[in-house]
Amino acid sequence: MSRFGSDPRAFFESVYQDIPPWDVGGPQPAMSALFDEYPPMDPVLDVGCGSGDHAISLAQRGLRVTGIDFVEAAIAQAGEKASSLPPEVAHLLDFQVADALQPSLLKRRFGAVLDSGFLHLLDPVQSDRFIDDLALALLPGGRYYLLGFAIEFSMPNLPRQVTAEELRARFTSEKGWHILDLRPAEFLSRVAPPTPAIRACIERLPAERG
Protein backbone atom coordinates (compact mmCIF):
# COMPACT_ATOMS: atom_id res chain seq x y z
CA MET A 1 0.00 0.00 0.00
CA SER A 2 1.26 3.51 -0.79
CA ARG A 3 1.82 6.25 1.79
CA PHE A 4 -1.59 7.59 0.74
CA GLY A 5 -3.60 4.40 1.27
CA SER A 6 -4.89 1.80 -1.15
CA ASP A 7 -6.25 4.41 -3.57
CA PRO A 8 -3.87 7.41 -3.74
CA ARG A 9 -5.86 9.03 -6.53
CA ALA A 10 -9.00 9.06 -4.35
CA PHE A 11 -6.93 10.61 -1.57
CA PHE A 12 -5.66 13.42 -3.84
CA GLU A 13 -9.13 13.92 -5.36
CA SER A 14 -10.44 14.52 -1.85
CA VAL A 15 -7.70 17.11 -1.19
CA TYR A 16 -8.75 19.01 -4.35
CA GLN A 17 -12.30 19.38 -2.94
CA ASP A 18 -10.73 22.36 -1.18
CA ILE A 19 -7.67 24.47 -2.03
CA PRO A 20 -4.73 22.09 -1.47
CA PRO A 21 -2.03 23.13 1.02
CA TRP A 22 0.62 23.23 -1.74
CA ASP A 23 -1.44 25.61 -3.89
CA VAL A 24 0.30 28.81 -2.83
CA GLY A 25 -0.92 30.98 -5.71
CA GLY A 26 2.24 30.74 -7.81
CA PRO A 27 5.35 28.64 -8.33
CA GLN A 28 7.46 27.62 -5.35
CA PRO A 29 10.22 30.28 -5.05
CA ALA A 30 12.84 27.52 -4.69
CA MET A 31 11.77 26.12 -8.08
CA SER A 32 11.81 29.53 -9.74
CA ALA A 33 15.35 30.06 -8.38
CA LEU A 34 16.43 26.73 -9.91
CA PHE A 35 14.96 27.74 -13.29
CA ASP A 36 16.82 31.07 -13.09
CA GLU A 37 20.13 29.37 -12.30
CA TYR A 38 19.74 26.39 -14.65
CA PRO A 39 17.48 27.48 -17.50
CA PRO A 40 15.32 24.55 -18.64
CA MET A 41 15.47 23.25 -22.19
CA ASP A 42 12.30 23.02 -24.27
CA PRO A 43 9.97 21.10 -24.19
CA VAL A 44 9.15 20.62 -20.50
CA LEU A 45 7.12 17.98 -18.67
CA ASP A 46 5.61 18.85 -15.26
CA VAL A 47 4.90 15.62 -13.34
CA GLY A 48 2.07 15.94 -10.80
CA CYS A 49 1.45 19.48 -12.07
CA GLY A 50 -1.52 20.19 -9.79
CA SER A 51 -3.30 23.39 -10.80
CA GLY A 52 -0.47 24.33 -13.14
CA ASP A 53 1.39 27.27 -11.59
CA HIS A 54 4.88 25.92 -12.34
CA ALA A 55 3.95 24.97 -15.89
CA ILE A 56 2.44 28.42 -16.44
CA SER A 57 5.54 30.14 -15.08
CA LEU A 58 7.68 28.27 -17.62
CA ALA A 59 5.30 28.99 -20.50
CA GLN A 60 5.62 32.66 -19.51
CA ARG A 61 9.36 32.16 -20.12
CA GLY A 62 8.55 30.98 -23.65
CA LEU A 63 8.80 27.19 -23.10
CA ARG A 64 6.31 24.58 -24.30
CA VAL A 65 5.04 22.69 -21.24
CA THR A 66 3.00 19.52 -20.85
CA GLY A 67 1.53 19.22 -17.35
CA ILE A 68 0.16 15.89 -16.14
CA ASP A 69 -1.77 15.03 -13.01
CA PHE A 70 -4.08 12.11 -12.21
CA VAL A 71 -6.72 14.36 -10.59
CA GLU A 72 -9.25 15.72 -13.09
CA ALA A 73 -10.14 18.70 -10.88
CA ALA A 74 -6.47 19.78 -10.79
CA ILE A 75 -6.19 19.60 -14.57
CA ALA A 76 -9.50 21.46 -14.97
CA GLN A 77 -8.17 24.27 -12.73
CA ALA A 78 -4.91 24.38 -14.70
CA GLY A 79 -6.88 24.61 -17.95
CA GLU A 80 -8.97 27.47 -16.55
CA LYS A 81 -5.84 29.38 -15.55
CA ALA A 82 -4.35 28.78 -18.99
CA SER A 83 -7.47 30.06 -20.71
CA SER A 84 -7.10 33.44 -18.99
CA LEU A 85 -3.51 33.88 -20.22
CA PRO A 86 -2.51 35.79 -23.34
CA PRO A 87 -2.95 33.45 -26.34
CA GLU A 88 0.78 33.41 -27.12
CA VAL A 89 1.41 31.93 -23.63
CA ALA A 90 -1.70 29.73 -23.46
CA HIS A 91 -0.85 27.95 -26.70
CA LEU A 92 2.44 26.75 -25.15
CA LEU A 93 0.54 24.82 -22.46
CA ASP A 94 -0.94 21.33 -22.64
CA PHE A 95 -2.57 19.90 -19.48
CA GLN A 96 -3.56 16.24 -19.44
CA VAL A 97 -5.08 13.82 -16.94
CA ALA A 98 -2.43 11.10 -16.79
CA ASP A 99 -0.44 8.95 -14.39
CA ALA A 100 2.97 10.52 -13.85
CA LEU A 101 4.68 7.36 -12.57
CA GLN A 102 5.66 6.42 -16.13
CA PRO A 103 6.42 9.60 -18.08
CA SER A 104 7.74 7.55 -21.02
CA LEU A 105 4.16 6.45 -21.75
CA LEU A 106 3.66 9.92 -23.25
CA LYS A 107 5.92 8.67 -26.11
CA ARG A 108 7.80 11.97 -26.22
CA ARG A 109 11.15 13.06 -24.91
CA PHE A 110 11.60 16.26 -22.95
CA GLY A 111 14.39 18.78 -22.41
CA ALA A 112 13.30 19.20 -18.81
CA VAL A 113 11.15 17.35 -16.29
CA LEU A 114 9.85 19.43 -13.41
CA ASP A 115 8.94 17.74 -10.14
CA SER A 116 7.57 19.99 -7.43
CA GLY A 117 6.38 17.60 -4.75
CA PHE A 118 6.01 14.40 -6.76
CA LEU A 119 9.01 12.15 -5.96
CA HIS A 120 8.46 12.72 -2.25
CA LEU A 121 5.03 11.05 -2.56
CA LEU A 122 6.57 7.79 -3.76
CA ASP A 123 7.82 4.85 -1.72
CA PRO A 124 11.33 3.50 -2.48
CA VAL A 125 10.18 0.92 -5.04
CA GLN A 126 7.97 3.42 -6.88
CA SER A 127 10.84 5.92 -6.77
CA ASP A 128 13.21 3.38 -8.40
CA ARG A 129 10.71 2.73 -11.18
CA PHE A 130 9.90 6.39 -11.70
CA ILE A 131 13.57 7.36 -12.02
CA ASP A 132 14.31 4.49 -14.44
CA ASP A 133 11.41 5.69 -16.56
CA LEU A 134 12.38 9.35 -16.22
CA ALA A 135 15.68 8.47 -17.90
CA LEU A 136 13.71 7.32 -20.96
CA ALA A 137 11.61 10.49 -21.07
CA LEU A 138 14.54 12.96 -20.99
CA LEU A 139 16.52 14.02 -24.03
CA PRO A 140 20.32 13.66 -23.75
CA GLY A 141 21.47 16.71 -21.78
CA GLY A 142 17.93 17.20 -20.49
CA ARG A 143 17.45 18.13 -16.85
CA TYR A 144 15.32 16.97 -13.93
CA TYR A 145 14.28 19.75 -11.53
CA LEU A 146 13.26 18.51 -8.09
CA LEU A 147 11.79 20.06 -4.95
CA GLY A 148 10.85 17.67 -2.14
CA PHE A 149 10.43 17.60 1.63
CA ALA A 150 13.67 17.15 3.57
CA ILE A 151 12.04 16.03 6.81
CA GLU A 152 9.98 13.03 7.83
CA PHE A 153 6.61 13.59 9.50
CA SER A 154 5.11 10.99 11.80
CA MET A 155 1.55 11.70 10.58
CA PRO A 156 -0.19 9.64 7.85
CA ASN A 157 -0.88 10.97 4.32
CA LEU A 158 2.17 13.19 4.24
CA PRO A 159 5.17 13.03 1.90
CA ARG A 160 8.35 11.26 2.85
CA GLN A 161 11.78 12.75 3.43
CA VAL A 162 14.10 13.07 0.43
CA THR A 163 17.75 13.24 1.45
CA ALA A 164 20.89 14.36 -0.33
CA GLU A 165 22.33 10.88 0.30
CA GLU A 166 19.36 9.26 -1.40
CA LEU A 167 19.67 11.52 -4.44
CA ARG A 168 23.45 10.97 -4.70
CA ALA A 169 22.86 7.20 -4.57
CA ARG A 170 20.07 7.24 -7.15
CA PHE A 171 21.53 9.72 -9.64
CA THR A 172 25.04 8.37 -10.23
CA SER A 173 27.26 8.88 -13.27
CA GLU A 174 27.26 5.08 -13.72
CA LYS A 175 23.50 5.34 -14.26
CA GLY A 176 23.94 8.23 -16.68
CA TRP A 177 23.26 11.22 -14.43
CA HIS A 178 25.17 14.31 -13.34
CA ILE A 179 24.03 16.33 -10.34
CA LEU A 180 24.39 20.03 -11.15
CA ASP A 181 22.77 21.42 -8.00
CA LEU A 182 21.73 19.89 -4.68
CA ARG A 183 20.99 22.05 -1.66
CA PRO A 184 18.59 22.84 1.17
CA ALA A 185 15.48 24.83 0.29
CA GLU A 186 11.97 25.52 1.53
CA PHE A 187 8.60 24.22 0.40
CA LEU A 188 5.87 26.82 0.97
CA SER A 189 2.39 25.85 2.09
CA ARG A 190 -0.93 27.65 2.58
CA VAL A 191 -1.48 26.07 5.97
CA ALA A 192 1.86 25.80 7.74
CA PRO A 193 5.23 27.52 8.03
CA PRO A 194 7.68 26.70 5.24
CA THR A 195 8.77 23.06 5.33
CA PRO A 196 12.50 22.26 5.13
CA ALA A 197 13.05 20.90 1.64
CA ILE A 198 15.73 19.83 -0.78
CA ARG A 199 16.13 21.13 -4.31
CA ALA A 200 18.10 19.55 -7.12
CA CYS A 201 18.89 19.99 -10.77
CA ILE A 202 20.17 16.77 -12.35
CA GLU A 203 21.31 16.34 -15.94
CA ARG A 204 20.77 13.26 -18.11
CA LEU A 205 24.13 12.51 -19.68
CA PRO A 206 24.28 11.73 -23.37
CA ALA A 207 24.89 7.99 -23.88
CA GLU A 208 28.55 7.22 -24.58
CA ARG A 209 29.30 5.95 -28.04
CA GLY A 210 31.08 2.62 -27.99
Ligand X SMILES: C[S@@+](CC[C@H](N)C(=O)[O-])C[C@H]1O[C@@H](n2cnc3c(N)ncnc32)[C@H](O)[C@@H]1O
By the rule CB under 6 A, 100 interacts with ligand X: yes
Site string for ligand X, 21-60 (x = CB under 6 A): -xx----x-------------------xxx--xx------
To the nearest whole angstrom, how small is the minimum distance from the Cβ of residue 91 to ligand X? 22
**Residues 130, 176: contact at Cβ < 8 Å?**
no
Q: Could you give the CA distance from residue 124 to residue 129 in angstroms, rounded to a whole number?
A: 9
| Stretch of 81-89, 96-104, 167-175, 190-198 contacting ligand X, by CB under 6 A | 96-104
Does 116 sit near ligand X (CB under 6 A)?
yes
| 99 belongs to the binding site for ligand X (CB under 6 A) | yes
User: Residue from 101, 139, 158, 164 that binds ligand X (CB under 6 A)?
Assistant: 101
Q: Does 177 bind ligand X (CB under 6 A)?
A: no
**Sheet architecture: strand order including 110-116:** 93-97, 65-69, 44-47, 110-116, 138-149, 195-204, 177-187
User: Is residue 111 part of the contact set for ligand X (CB under 6 A)?
Assistant: no
Q: Is 69 in the site for ligand X (CB under 6 A)?
A: yes
74, 75, 119, 138: residue in contact with ligand X (rule CB under 6 A):
74
Neighbours of 174 (CB within 10 A): 5
The dihedral sign for the CA sequence 163, 166, 171, 174: positive
Rounded-to-integer distance, Cα 61 and Cα 4, Å = 34
